[in-house]
Amino acid sequence: MSRTARAHTNIALIKYWGKKDAKLRLPLMSSLSMTLDAFYSETKLTDASEMSFSLNGVKQEGPAASRVFNYLKLMQERFGVSGSLAVESINHVPTAAGLASSSSAFAALAAAFADHYQLDVDRQELSRMARMGSGSASRSIYGGFAVWQKGSSDADSFAYPLVESPKMDLKLLAVELNDQPKKISSTKGMEASKTSPFYQTWLDRNDQELADMEDAIKTGDFTKLGSLAELNASEMHSLTLTAQPGFTYFEPDTIKAIKLVGNLREKGVECYYTIDAGPNVKILCQSQNCKKIINNFETAFERVKIIEAGFGPGISYQD
Ligand code: ADP
Ligand code: DP6
Ligand code: CO
């Protein structure tokens, strides 16, 4: 019997936004993330007469199914195994809304694949496998803070745990302004962003930003962590705006949320934003301020769902 694999989403504080090899999903930069307890995917594989993929109980066809089938074929070739598989997955996170569903999805799928074929793989190999499904998934193998070192080839591009059970007081408030699937996938958006005149600067800054973020974590410096994460996210979104042709994942409410974070900070409520490939905003704060921030957002936005997240665990299996 196959077991269900569970992986939690992660949110990058130093972001992956650009590939040097699309097929292997080798990145142009290293990234660093926080795994979240509140959001996860669960995936199970069973032998079947033909490949199928169901998500949240609904049979998938089209690009989402092809992505999964292509991934399974790639993994079957890699490990010299075969057979048709039925994939059943449940997302405890909005799909394709910029809340990192692909990170938990492909970490869970890689783990389910390894379990199904009883592959003798360690977490580093599992991270490389997950990377080939979605880059951000390489980091969801681990709990706490993880770093995906860019490496130079398939062999050395994997994530490793930085601190698996952090003691730091750090919370992430996911402000769900819109849970609908985005129009431009992360895969497409990051490729398009390479046409920005600022793209080389983005790459040049990666080593220093990563070192500074690691330092902020090591010293438990929330102010440094938050301001750096906010700057890094803004840099990423400046690439979409300055791409040729330009585009943005922001919606009017995204800007409103950015401004509210600034206002709160001016009033002494320390918080910072980070935003991924979607309109939803994530707020970094400390426990004492969560309630105040949530109240302010609920007052400012008519329809808003705010989910409080802390550090989540790495991969696990359910019987
Ligand atoms: P997100 O911001 O949610 O990570 P992406 O554009 O990176 O958005 O990836 C979303 C895509 O990931 C979906 O369109 C789908 O193809 C794939 N995906 C999401 N959840 C799952 C899942 N549980 N199993 C397999 N594939 C999934
Ligand atoms: C903005 O990992 O979703 O969330 O490798 O093409 O599947 P693919 O992209 P994906 O990109 C994530 C982009 C990001 C930043 C991050 O998670 O590092
Ligand atoms: Co994604």
- Which of ligand 2's atoms lies nearest the C-alpha of 10? 17
Ligand that comes closest to the CA of residue 232: 2
- Residue whose pair of structure tokens reads 């996170």 in the numeric block: 93
Distance 48 CA to ligand 2 centre (A): 31
- Which of ligand 1's atoms lies nearest the C-alpha of 189? 6
- Name residue 88's amino acid: E
Distance 130 CA to ligand 2 centre (A): 12
Distance 31 CA to ligand 3 centre (A): 14
Separation of alpha carbons 128 and 135, rounded Å: 9
**Model pTM score:** 0.98
Contact 84, 50 (CB under 8 A): yes
Query: Is there an atom of ligand 2 within 6 Å of 9 CB?
Result: no
Ligand that comes closest to the CA of residue 107: 1
Query: Is there an atom of ligand 1 within 6 Å of 185 CB?
Result: yes
Distances in Å between the Cα of 248 and the Cα atoms of 97, 211, 251 are: 14, 28, 8
pLDDT in tens, the chain (319 residues): 689 999 999 999 999 999 999 999 999 999 999 999 999 999 999 999 999 999 999 999 999 999 999 999 999 999 999 999 999 999 999 999 999 999 999 999 999 999 999 999 999 999 999 999 999 999 999 999 999 999 999 999 999 999 999 999 999 999 999 999 999 999 999 999 999 999 999 999 999 999 999 999 999 999 999 999 999 999 999 999 999 999 999 999 999 999 999 999 999 999 999 999 999 999 999 999 999 999 999 999 998 999 999 999 999 999 8
Q: Pick the residue whose CA is nearest to atom 11 on ligand 2.
A: 186
Q: Which residues make Cβ contacts (< 8 Å) with residue 283, sequence separation at least 6?
A: 172, 173, 175, 261, 271, 272, 273, 293
**Structural domains for the chain:** 4-165 (3.30.230.10), 171-309 (3.30.70.890)
Ligand that comes closest to the CA of residue 104: 1
